[in-house]
Amino acid sequence: EDQVTQSPEALRLQEGESSSLNCSYTVSGLRGLFWYRQDPGKGPEFLFTLYSAGEEKEKERLKATLTKKESFLHITAPKPEDSATYLCAVQAGGKLIFGQGTELSVKP
């Protein structure tokens, strides 16, 4: 069964304290892994797409990496405005399968 698991469920950081979010997946025939940011009461905002193991993408303080079994979203020197829920999803069987998300809180 295709499955996506994100950890931790919640993460509290101090401003400037770097960390990583994990997304583990089991899927037959990965056709893309996606990271989204979701603010409370809003729709998910697209961040990155990764297609093959070894691929990396960066945007400001965020960097996404992909292996054959998992993806990491590294956050370097986070700021309070990075606080949000981060969703990971894999493309399988013609649809996105989402993880439950990691709720990130960055305190000043």
CB of 16 to other proteins, least distance (A): 28
Give me the sign of the Cα torsion angle 31, 2, 24, 97: positive
CA distance 14 to 33: 28
Q: What is the residue type of 102?
A: T
According to the binding rule CB under 8 A, does residue 28 interact with other proteins?
Answer: no
CA distance 107 to 24: 27
According to the binding rule CB under 8 A, does residue 76 interact with other proteins?
Answer: no
CA distance 75 to 62: 5
Nearer to other proteins by Cβ, of 18 and 26: the residue is 26
According to the binding rule CB under 8 A, does residue 29 interact with other proteins?
Answer: no
Nearer to other proteins by Cβ, of 49 and 76: the residue is 49
Where on the chain is the footprint of other proteins (CB under 8 A)? 31-32, 34, 36, 41-46, 49, 51, 87, 91, 94-96, 98-101
